[in-house]
Amino acid sequence: MTIRIITLFIATLFALLPISKTIAASDVWEFTIAFPMIWAPEINGKVEGGGDRIDINVPFDKIVEDLNFGLMGDFYATRGKWSYALKLNYLQTKDETVTDSLKSPIWDITIAPSHQVKTELRMSANDLLIRYQTHKNTFLYTGVRYFFTKVDMDITPLGTGIIAIDKHINIADEHLFDWLIGIDLGHWFSQRFGVSLSADAGIVGDNDKDYNVTAIALYRLNKLHNIWAGYRYLEISNETDSDVGKLEVKFAQQGPMIGWAFTF
């Protein structure tokens, strides 16, 4: 399925490129680079299979506190009514907690020592899109979204006891592709201030559910420099067969974003 989606997108891209060349020669390319961008979402998710369930809840303040590495940026190339977009975002967070020890209420023995629990979350959602301007402030687009998620947990005992767990657990490790369709609506209230609202959904691919809504306010400082600020919601979920039976993975990310954009 993944190879078919990528092949179909590449074939569509090359089929549409000659069309963009028929635009009048007076039209010139316009480029927009939104970087650096900061997106610190609240993340809620679950991994369920074989009768077990692991809930993942990383609030906004923990993302800010535990962010180990984050990268987000958009690139647009526009000529006439056609434009091509690449949207990238990646974040890596690490969290560390220590559990309480458990001692026998009768004998002077430790049933379970304190444990150090380290959790590392890596997540990325990247879009490669083709857009077409149908009206003055309306773009329709299609393309491929690549979604990567990896969650690892390391449990280490901090003492001795009857129950001492020393284990590395890979909770999730997925590379998924979806074919998208979406719409982008924009409006400039003045030469300096405008807004944009985009929404898309996966129509075929590895995920059972894949949709995104993004709202952005834009402030133009001058011809080159712009400020983007907004809010994004992204939800991905799928159910697959695994060694333990049905495996269901669901993640929802939502939160504010702000960044600098260059238009030239």
Q: What is the pLDDT of residues 26-66, one digit of tens each?
A: 478 999 999 888 877 787 877 776 666 667 777 777 666 66
Question: Token match 């190879």: residue?
Answer: 3
Strand partners, 86: 75, 128
How is domain 2-20+30-263 classified at the CATH fold level? Lipocalin (2.40.128)
* Predicted local distance difference test score (pLDDT) of residue 21: 42
How many whole angstroms separate alpha carbon 72 and alpha carbon 39? 7
160-183 CB burial, b ≥16 within 10 A, e <16: ebeebeeeeeebbebebbbbbebe
Neighbours of 234 (CB within 10 A): 23
Q: pLDDT, tens digit, for every residue of 205-261? A: 999 999 999 999 999 999 899 999 999 999 988 877 666 567 777 888 888 889 999
Average pLDDT over residues 178-196: 95
By residue count, the chain amounts to 264
User: Domain segments of the chain: what residues?
Assistant: 2-20+30-263
Q: pLDDT, tens digit, for every residue of 152-169? A: 889 899 888 888 888 898
Closest CA to 215 of 263, 251, 256: 256
The rounded radius of gyration (Å) of the Cα atoms in the chain is 23
Q: pLDDT, tens digit, for every residue of 74-109? A: 999 999 999 999 999 888 878 888 888 888 788 878
Token pair for residue 240?
A: 């697959």
pTM of the entire structure?
Answer: 0.78
How many whole angstroms separate alpha carbon 210 and alpha carbon 179? 9
Q: Which residue has the higher pLDDT, 246 or 11?
A: 246
Is residue 83 helix, strand or coil?
strand
Check pLDDT > 50 for residue 194: yes
Check pLDDT > 80 for residue 193: yes
